[in-house]
Amino acid sequence: MTAACRLRVFDALLAGAFLPTGAWKQLSFFFSLVGHYAFHLWRPLGQVITKAAKKFPAASFSAYYKGGFEQKMTKREASLILGISPTSTKEKVREAHRRIMVLNHPDKGQ
Protein backbone atom coordinates (compact mmCIF):
# COMPACT_ATOMS: atom_id res chain seq x y z
CA MET A 1 0.00 0.00 0.00
CA THR A 2 1.52 3.33 -1.02
CA ALA A 3 1.75 6.32 1.27
CA ALA A 4 -0.87 8.24 -0.71
CA CYS A 5 -3.26 5.29 -0.54
CA ARG A 6 -2.71 4.93 3.21
CA LEU A 7 -3.34 8.66 3.64
CA ARG A 8 -6.64 8.39 1.72
CA VAL A 9 -7.77 5.42 3.83
CA PHE A 10 -6.80 7.21 7.05
CA ASP A 11 -8.48 10.39 5.80
CA ALA A 12 -11.66 8.51 4.94
CA LEU A 13 -11.79 6.81 8.33
CA LEU A 14 -11.33 10.06 10.21
CA ALA A 15 -13.65 11.99 7.92
CA GLY A 16 -16.47 9.57 8.59
CA ALA A 17 -15.86 9.55 12.33
CA PHE A 18 -14.96 13.13 13.17
CA LEU A 19 -14.92 15.76 10.44
CA PRO A 20 -16.10 16.26 6.89
CA THR A 21 -13.32 15.39 4.43
CA GLY A 22 -12.64 18.98 3.33
CA ALA A 23 -12.35 20.24 6.88
CA TRP A 24 -9.98 17.39 7.78
CA LYS A 25 -7.69 18.28 4.89
CA GLN A 26 -7.71 21.96 5.84
CA LEU A 27 -6.92 21.07 9.42
CA SER A 28 -4.02 18.82 8.44
CA PHE A 29 -2.68 21.54 6.12
CA PHE A 30 -2.92 24.08 8.94
CA PHE A 31 -0.96 21.86 11.33
CA SER A 32 1.69 21.18 8.70
CA LEU A 33 2.16 24.95 8.31
CA VAL A 34 2.36 25.41 12.07
CA GLY A 35 5.00 22.68 12.27
CA HIS A 36 6.96 24.28 9.42
CA TYR A 37 7.02 27.70 11.09
CA ALA A 38 7.79 26.23 14.51
CA PHE A 39 10.79 24.42 13.04
CA HIS A 40 12.13 27.61 11.44
CA LEU A 41 11.60 29.59 14.65
CA TRP A 42 13.34 26.91 16.72
CA ARG A 43 16.64 26.94 14.78
CA PRO A 44 17.71 30.49 15.78
CA LEU A 45 16.39 29.88 19.28
CA GLY A 46 18.53 26.75 19.51
CA GLN A 47 21.59 28.80 18.57
CA VAL A 48 20.79 31.35 21.29
CA ILE A 49 20.40 28.56 23.85
CA THR A 50 23.73 27.04 22.78
CA LYS A 51 25.52 30.39 23.15
CA ALA A 52 23.97 30.96 26.58
CA ALA A 53 24.95 27.47 27.74
CA LYS A 54 28.58 28.10 26.77
CA LYS A 55 28.66 31.13 29.09
CA PHE A 56 27.90 28.99 32.13
CA PRO A 57 30.87 27.51 33.99
CA ALA A 58 31.81 23.92 33.27
CA ALA A 59 31.07 21.12 35.72
CA SER A 60 31.04 21.93 39.42
CA PHE A 61 34.32 20.06 39.83
CA SER A 62 36.19 22.33 37.41
CA ALA A 63 37.81 24.29 40.26
CA TYR A 64 39.40 21.18 41.74
CA TYR A 65 42.82 19.70 41.05
CA LYS A 66 42.90 17.65 37.86
CA GLY A 67 46.57 16.75 37.76
CA GLY A 68 48.11 13.31 37.88
CA PHE A 69 48.91 11.60 41.14
CA GLU A 70 52.40 11.06 42.51
CA GLN A 71 53.59 7.65 43.73
CA LYS A 72 53.18 8.72 47.35
CA MET A 73 50.77 11.54 48.20
CA THR A 74 52.49 14.61 49.56
CA LYS A 75 51.02 17.38 51.67
CA ARG A 76 51.20 19.68 48.63
CA GLU A 77 49.23 17.28 46.42
CA ALA A 78 46.61 16.71 49.14
CA SER A 79 46.16 20.45 49.56
CA LEU A 80 45.76 20.87 45.77
CA ILE A 81 43.07 18.18 45.69
CA LEU A 82 41.22 19.74 48.63
CA GLY A 83 41.65 23.25 47.22
CA ILE A 84 43.33 24.67 50.31
CA SER A 85 46.73 26.02 51.26
CA PRO A 86 49.41 23.52 52.40
CA THR A 87 49.66 25.52 55.65
CA SER A 88 45.90 25.37 56.43
CA THR A 89 44.67 24.51 59.91
CA LYS A 90 43.24 21.11 60.81
CA GLU A 91 39.76 22.59 60.91
CA LYS A 92 40.06 23.92 57.34
CA VAL A 93 41.39 20.55 56.15
CA ARG A 94 38.42 18.76 57.75
CA GLU A 95 35.97 21.25 56.27
CA ALA A 96 37.47 20.93 52.76
CA HIS A 97 37.56 17.13 53.03
CA ARG A 98 33.92 17.02 54.10
CA ARG A 99 32.94 19.29 51.19
CA ILE A 100 34.71 17.02 48.67
CA MET A 101 33.23 13.87 50.21
CA VAL A 102 29.69 15.30 50.08
CA LEU A 103 30.16 16.33 46.43
CA ASN A 104 31.46 12.88 45.48
CA HIS A 105 28.91 10.88 47.47
CA PRO A 106 27.04 8.36 45.25
CA ASP A 107 23.67 9.30 46.76
CA LYS A 108 24.22 12.88 45.66
CA GLY A 109 23.26 11.87 42.12
CA GLN A 110 26.11 13.48 40.21
Cα separation, 91 vs 89, in Å, equals 5
pLDDT at 92 (0 to 100): 93
- Residue 82 C-alpha from the chain's centroid: 28
Question: What mean pLDDT comes out for the span 12-20?
Answer: 56
What are the Cα distances from residue 8, in Å, to 3, 14, 43, 83, 96? Answer: 9, 10, 32, 68, 69
- Residue closest to 104 by CA, chosen among 70, 60, 63: 60
pLDDT at 36 (0 to 100): 75
- Per-residue pLDDT at 6 exceeds 60: no
User: Hey, CA dihedral for 66, 71, 73, 75, is it positive or negative?
Assistant: negative
- Per-residue pLDDT at 106 exceeds 90: no
pLDDT at 14 (0 to 100): 57
- Per-residue pLDDT at 37 exceeds 70: yes
**Single-letter amino acid, residue 3:** A
Render pLDDT for 41-81 as a digit per residue (tens, 0 to 9): 777 777 787 887 777 765 554 565 666 677 888 888 888 88
Cα separation, 24 vs 28, in Å, equals 6
Helices 75-82 and 90-103: crossing angle in degrees, nearest 10, is 50
pLDDT at 15 (0 to 100): 56
pLDDT at 95 (0 to 100): 93
